[in-house]
Amino acid sequence: MKKAMTIFYEVGNNLYVNLTNKCPCNCTFCIRNHADGAYGSEPLWLEHEPTADEIFSAMNQLDIAKYKEIVFCGYGEPTCRLDMLITVANELKARQYCPPLFRINTNGLGDLINGEPIAEKLCGLLDTISISLNAGTKDEYMKVTRPKFENAWEAMQKFTADCVAQKSAKVIMSVVDVIPAEQIEAARKLAESLGAELRVRAYDE
């Protein structure tokens, strides 16, 4: 495992923000299990969780005007550092020529991680909430995602419904195309029942 301080990295026309390596899940297909980085990035395993000063210093080296979207997604669950996520998003939005779109890729367990509902905080700040559903049924979800919380399946759905209810952000649930077709169909029905859109991602994305 190679460690660095890669806080920002590019994926296509988007700028990704890597704030933490903490995650309450251990997904069977997680890229962290077989690579130190993603999409040709430097290692995303952090030497330590970056401070605000370190993040802003790295931010000052960026030409943020060239990006289409800012995405909070790294080698950990972004809501494990909710306060820092909010601080960084607000700092970026205050900068001249900042991209207009902000997204989070999350496992949807931020309420459990933070001990309080967080949908209102995120949906007023971000344009897209993308939640990793990973499976269409509870048994498969628990088997594939391997969360440390026993009520993760229920909490993830509540978070999704809360985000939809905010009506201020696009809410997407995602699965990876390596799961069986019947699980994808079950996931689609679940997402629709919660008012969210389902996205089927290619495994190498």
Q: Using CA atoms, how far apart are residues 50 and 169, in angstroms rounded to an integer?
A: 27
CATH number for the domain harbouring residue 158:
3.20.20.70
Task: Give the number of other Cβ atoms within 10 Å of residue 122's Cβ.
Answer: 26
Structure tokens at 43: 């290692």
pLDDT in tens, 54-85: 999 999 999 999 999 999 999 999 999 999 99
Domain that holds residue 146: 3-201
Per-residue confidence (pLDDT) for residue 36, from 0 to 100: 86
Per-residue confidence (pLDDT) for residue 41, from 0 to 100: 84
Per-residue confidence (pLDDT) for residue 101, from 0 to 100: 97
Q: What is the DSSP string of 104-137?
A: EEE-S-HHHHHTS--HHHHHTT-SEEEEE---SS
| Domains contained in the chain, number | 1
Evaluate if residue 205 carries a pLDDT over 80.
Answer: no
Query: Mean pLDDT, to the nearest integer, of 26-47?
Result: 87
Per-residue confidence (pLDDT) for residue 204, from 0 to 100: 60
Quick check: helix, strand or coil at residue 198?
Answer: strand
Per-residue confidence (pLDDT) for residue 203, from 0 to 100: 67
Evaluate if residue 172 carries a pLDDT over 60.
Answer: yes
pLDDT in tens, 146-158: 999 999 999 999 9
Structure tokens at 198: 């389902």
Residue closest to 172 by CA, chosen among 156, 153, 195: 195
Residues in the chain: 205
pLDDT in tens, 87-141: 999 999 999 999 999 999 999 999 999 999 999 999 989 999 999 999 999 999 9
Percentage of the residues of the chain whose pLDDT score is greater than 90: 85
Least trusted range by pLDDT, from 35-44, 146-155, 158-167:
35-44
Structure tokens at 148: 């440390």
Residue 40: band (very low, low, confident or very high) from pLDDT cuts 50, 70, 90: confident
Per-residue confidence (pLDDT) for residue 193, from 0 to 100: 97
Choice between 43 and 203, residue whose per-residue pLDDT is larger: 43
What single-letter amino acid sits at 91?
Answer: E
